[in-house]
Chains A and B, each alone.
Chain A
């Protein structure tokens, strides 16, 4: 048979594409339920990591999560709770929740072992190569960050991918979103730079400028809508505004 005839080539290509395509589709369908479960558990792990909780082992992720996260909330931009059905915040697809005008604002309310209440706020933004997302856990004073977790789809390993490292995430702990009663958020800046707004800042990652800026933009974009909600928390919590600590890193 002539291997270089047009008919042979076309048939070869067609058969190959059909074969590979159907094999891939079959594999994808067969593995989908297992994958979805893994992805949901991974999201739970990320949320728990922002709360400094780790599941004892991989089979207990869901159980541990449900023990700590007691309520899901959706709030509006005025800080009112609009929905609190089970898993309503967990099920929000942040990818499709980007437009500011009709954005849902999910909040997960958690109770820690010592009885203190934390609020986890999810975020979603853009890194250098693809999406980045994360969770910020707030103390119930609505001002101090309790913990943070960031993930990414495909940032450069060793550079931008370090936003997923504990070293970077721990820098957010105890930062304040409000200074002197005004919402400032928190920014990621190159070491040595000073933020214009006076917001508390975190050192950017060397060699990962775009990813660092992406994290900063995501923080601003996703935390600002919660301003009213966080202000209300401050009103509810025992007032300790006077203790706001403003010793910024030099």
Chain B
């Protein structure tokens, strides 16, 4: 079940081969949904699911897909999967579907999906592909949560919508930093995380 290669597929994306920090994929959505923790977590879970299952489907089809139109096939699989999930949610869990509405579109365009389908699922069998999908989804979610943690804490003074900075601080002149809510600070936060990550992983450093 978990041979050495499979373990690598699952665990490498968490740090050494992290999709956001090392492969620099999915940055756009990482900026869009990290203003607070809740959407970040929902987005993370959605990407894990869609990535794992589209990886499996593409992996099953990999021997039949004509090379020239492989990107189109991958896109159709991802889009169809996402739309099915969305329709089922509207019918059976409307509240969740409302929370997810905008993420659905963002998932289809998330370059982690295309990146993993193209780089992994096209050349590997379904089980490792599934693990690769889970691993990369988790790696992406971790970064999203770290960024969202700092942005929500410093930008709104809350975590998961709960006030964590005591009123006492505001009374003594503390102000929430509105800049943290805006996109540039997401990019700068991601930059700082990448810096920190590389400083601790010598093998990732380039000359």
Measuring CB to CB, which residues of chain A are less than 8 angstroms from any residue of chain B? 3-4, 8-9, 12-13, 16-17, 20, 23-24, 27-28, 31, 34-35, 38-39, 41-42, 129, 153-159, 161, 206-207
Contact = CB atoms under 8 A, between A and B. Distances in A.
Contacts of A155: 102
Given A39-B90, A154-B105, A207-B181, 12 more contacts: A4-B67, A13-B72, A20-B76, A23-B84, A24-B87, A31-B88, A34-B92, A38-B94, A42-B98, A157-B103, A158-B35, A158-B36
A157 B105 CA distance: 13
Interface residues of B, number: 32
A161 B88 contact: no
Q: Which of A16, A157, A206 has its CB near the most chain B CB atoms (within 10 A)?
A: A157
B35 A157 contact: yes
B32 interface: yes
Interface of B: 32-36, 39, 64-69, 72-73, 76, 80, 83-84, 87-88, 90-92, 94, 98, 101-103, 105, 178, 181-182
A41 B199 CA distance: 53
Contact of B69 (A12, A20, A35): A12
B178 A207 contact: yes
Contacts of B68: 4, 9
Contact of A4 (B64, B66, B105): B66
Contact of A24 (B36, B67, B80, B182): B80
B78 to A, nearest CB: 11
Nearest to A33: B91
A31 B66 CA distance: 33
B69 A207 contact: no
B64 A3 contact: yes
Contacts of B64: 3, 12
Contact of A159 (B66, B67, B181): B181
B178 A157 contact: no
Contact of A17 (B66, B76, B92, B182): B76
Given A161-B102, A207-B182, A3 B83 contact: no
Contacts of A161: 39, 102
Contacts of A34: 91-92
Contacts of B66: 3-4, 8-9, 12
A134 B120 CA distance: 45
B61 to A, nearest CB: 9
B102 A206 contact: no
A156 B35 CA distance: 10
Nearest to B98: A42
A220 B117 CA distance: 48
Contacts of A129: 102
Contacts of A41: 94
